[in-house]
């Protein structure tokens, strides 16, 4: 595993650079020579995150003299392409990051703080996690449980090729 922190340089050139190491405690870092920002404007506050389900990363940074962020995309953490036209923001943050959260965390956050109106309805399947189709429910007097048999779904072409079984005492 390689750890790639992105950071702002000062003094001997200003911008966002990356260094890599295989051990955070080794003291052995390799600094990439080039700057990663895709603007000549002054920048700081770099944050990077992986897109869920894709082999792509987003590097974002504060273009602080303009009061805006710039977003770039990469597949190799070396070459970055500006994707600002694909990002919409109706606020002006100063230094931030983006982290993935689970569905459970999203529900706890929106329960506590409310849901932005533009977010729309949160997809919800209160009975089964994941993607399932064609459920059949049976009750067993012997075990005193309900059993839900479903096909898988959410596959390419929406085809499923196996069944899953869930059990519950109260559905």
Instruction: State the pLDDT at residue 126.
Output: 59
Q: Is the pLDDT of residue 46 over 80?
A: yes
Please give the helix or strand (H or E) that residue 73 lies within, else none. Answer: strand 68-74
Q: Is the pLDDT of residue 127 over 80?
A: no
In whole numbers, what is the pLDDT of the chain averaged over residues?
84
Instruction: State the pLDDT at residue 158.
Output: 57
What distance in Å separates the CA atoms of residue 64 and residue 55, rounded to the nearest whole number? Answer: 29
140: helix, strand or coil: strand
Q: Which residue has the higher pLDDT, 82 or 91?
A: 82
What distance in Å separates the CA atoms of residue 131 and residue 155, rounded to the nearest whole number? Answer: 9
Band of pLDDT at residue 29, cut at 50, 70 and 90: very high
At 61-77, the pLDDT tens digits run: 988 888 888 999 999 99
% of the chain with per-residue pLDDT over 90: 30
Band of pLDDT at residue 59, cut at 50, 70 and 90: very high
* Residue 87 near residue 44 (C-beta atoms within 8 A): no
Task: State mean pLDDT over 123-145.
Answer: 77
Instruction: State the pLDDT at residue 144.
Output: 92
At 94-121, the pLDDT tens digits run: 777 888 888 788 889 988 998 887 777 7
Strand pairing class (44-50; 30-31): unpaired
What sign for the dihedral angle of Cα 116, 72, 58, 35? negative
Instruction: State the pLDDT at residue 154.
Output: 58
Nearest partner of 13 among 48, 47, 40, judged by Cα: 40
Give, in order, the Cα–Cα distances in Å from 98 to each of 61, 101, 121, 157, 159: 12, 9, 21, 31, 33
105: helix, strand or coil: helix
- Report residue 138: phi and psi, to 5°: -125, 150
Q: Is the pLDDT of residue 149 over 90?
A: no
């Amino acid at each position: 595993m390689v750890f790639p922190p992105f950071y702002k340089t000062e003094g001997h050139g200003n911008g966002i650079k990356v260094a890599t190491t295989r051990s955070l405690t080794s003291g052995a870092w390799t600094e990439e020579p080039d700057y990663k920002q895709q603007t000549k404007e002054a920048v700081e506050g770099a944050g990077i995150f992986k897109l869920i389900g894709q082999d792509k990363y987003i590097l974002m940074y504060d273009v602080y003299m303009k009061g805006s962020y710039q977003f770039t995309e990469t597949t190799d953490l070396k070459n970055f392409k500006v994707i600002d036209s694909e990002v919409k923001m109706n606020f002006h943050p100063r230094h931030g990051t983006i982290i993935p959260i689970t569905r459970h965390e999203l529900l706890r956050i929106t329960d506590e703080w409310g849901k932005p109106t533009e977010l729309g309805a949160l997809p919800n399947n209160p009975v089964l996690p994941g993607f399932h189709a064609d459920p059949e429910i049976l009750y067993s007097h012997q075990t005193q449980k309900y059993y839900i048999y479903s096909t898988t779904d959410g596959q390419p072409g929406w085809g499923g090729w196996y069944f899953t079984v869930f059990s519950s005492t109260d559905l």
